[in-house]
Structure 1
Amino acid sequence: MGDYMREPCPWRIMDDCGGAFVLGSVGGGLFQFIKGYRNAPSGFNRRLIGSITAVKQRAPVLAGNFAVWGVTFSAIDCAFIHIRKKEDPWNSIASGFLTGGVLAARSGVWAMGGSALIGGVLLALIEGVQILVNRVGAEMAMQPPEEPEHQHNNPNAVRDIGVYNLLVVKFDSD
């Protein structure tokens, strides 16, 4: 679980805010560029102007929304780390649940509950995949690499097949 060796909590909040802002800015810029291109009148110049206009109008809003999500998630995550005195996937899952609920609080109780549920499930899926990838990666690192069958039979076979080794074998056999 190397992901939990990150910045200490007060700095983690700002780090996640900046990362989320950049992610929202780049992703939102790309999305709005395509959307503006598709919705603009025909003609390459008009479509290009429509794309740029859409990016200038909507990408900063989306980047700000991502940053707010990042700050809220990190602040709640740091609060859980402080309260529970440990960093584990349950903190992230609970933080996703509460972040979804907090950000949808203005929409009513049902929307708040639905967003909280989606946030918790989404973070549970992310954490589950991360644990699975870490486990598979650790198992692969522990297994020795398998050697091809023909190399066991020939003691003069070159183990590292590279361009240099192929040239050496070719010239040595002459």
Structure 2
Amino acid sequence: MERDPCPDRILDDIGGAFGMGAVGGGAFYFLKGLKNSPRGSRLLGAYQTARMKTPATAGGFAVWGALFSLSDCSLVYLRQKEDPWNSIMAGAFTGGFLQMRQGFASASRAALIGGGLLALIEGLQIAVNRFVAAQQQQIIYVDRSSVPIGMGHQGNQDLPETAGASGSESWFGGWFGGGGKKEEEKSGAKTEILESFDAPLPPTFEFK
């Protein structure tokens, strides 16, 4: 799966992360409010909980996406190549940077978690791409093996011409007699049709 170029992918990642946080956070807090609200006001409590908590969650996801995308683009610029290691290192840096206020130990754990998650995602994506490529190659191989032996490119070109010739002989030969003339020319025999001949008169049984 190809990504957008680096200056454009920053806004794309921010928008995607914000939308993910808004949808996922809204659903999570709605269900949480629905569970914790008293009977008779469950829907109202779920709506209020989702309305109060969802913007903060979506904003946090957007900040994470912005830091990740900036780190990824910086690594692409520094290393002058784009590979899964950029995403893994960017995920580790983003997780550690967001937990710096909690101390070095917490930042280290967050960096390991972020790098591990991105490594898992990148590995899964590579496996899926290889599986899809293998399936496509297998389909192409099956299609080529289904062609009969001897039916090459030249045979495929000659086949429509032969069919067209036989079709024209059958149509026009049946209507205008073209096919019969060709057969006579090939056999070397000629048939002549008598235009006039003396036919005997029919007998009459009248007495004179």
Indicate the TM-score class for this superposition, using the shorter chain for normalisation: 0.7 to 0.9
Cα shift at 1:23: 0.6
Equivalence for 1:101:
96
Equivalence for 2:72:
77
Describe the SS at the equivalent of 1:143: helix
Asked whether 1:54 is paired with 2:49, we answer yes
Pairs within 5 Å for 1:7-156: 7-43=4-40, 46-144=41-139
- Structure 1: where are the runs of 5+ without partners? 148-174
- Structure 2: where are the runs of 5+ without partners? 144-208
Larger RCO, structures 1/2 (Cα 8 Å, 6+ apart): 1
Cα shift at 1:11: 2.0
Cα distance in structure 2, aligned partners of 1:124 and 1:64: 24
Cα shift at 1:108: 0.3
Task: Show CA shifts across 1:82-101 (max 9, x none).
Answer: 00111110000000010110
Task: Show CA shifts across 1:64-96 (max 9, x none).
Answer: 000000000000000001001111100000000
Describe the SS at the equivalent of 1:41: coil
Cα distance in structure 1, aligned partners of 2:139 and 2:31: 47
Cα distance in structure 2, aligned partners of 1:89 and 1:103: 22
Cα shift at 1:8: 2.1
Cα distance in structure 2, aligned partners of 1:14 and 1:134: 25
- Greater than 4 Å deviation, 4+ residue runs: none
Identity rate, percent: 52
Cα distance in structure 2, aligned partners of 1:125 and 1:131: 10
Aligned partner of 1:119: which letter? G
Between the two proteins, the alignment pairs up a number of residues equal to 142
TM-score by length of 1: 0.79
Cα shift at 1:12: 1.2
Larger Rg: 2
Aligned partner of 2:99: which letter? A
Cα distance in structure 2, aligned partners of 1:74 and 1:106: 21
Describe the SS at the equivalent of 1:87: coil
Cα shift at 1:128: 0.4
Aligned partner of 1:121: which letter? G
Cα shift at 1:9: 1.5
Cα distance in structure 1, aligned partners of 2:99 and 2:68: 13
TM-score by length of 2: 0.66
Q: CA RMSD in A?
A: 1.4
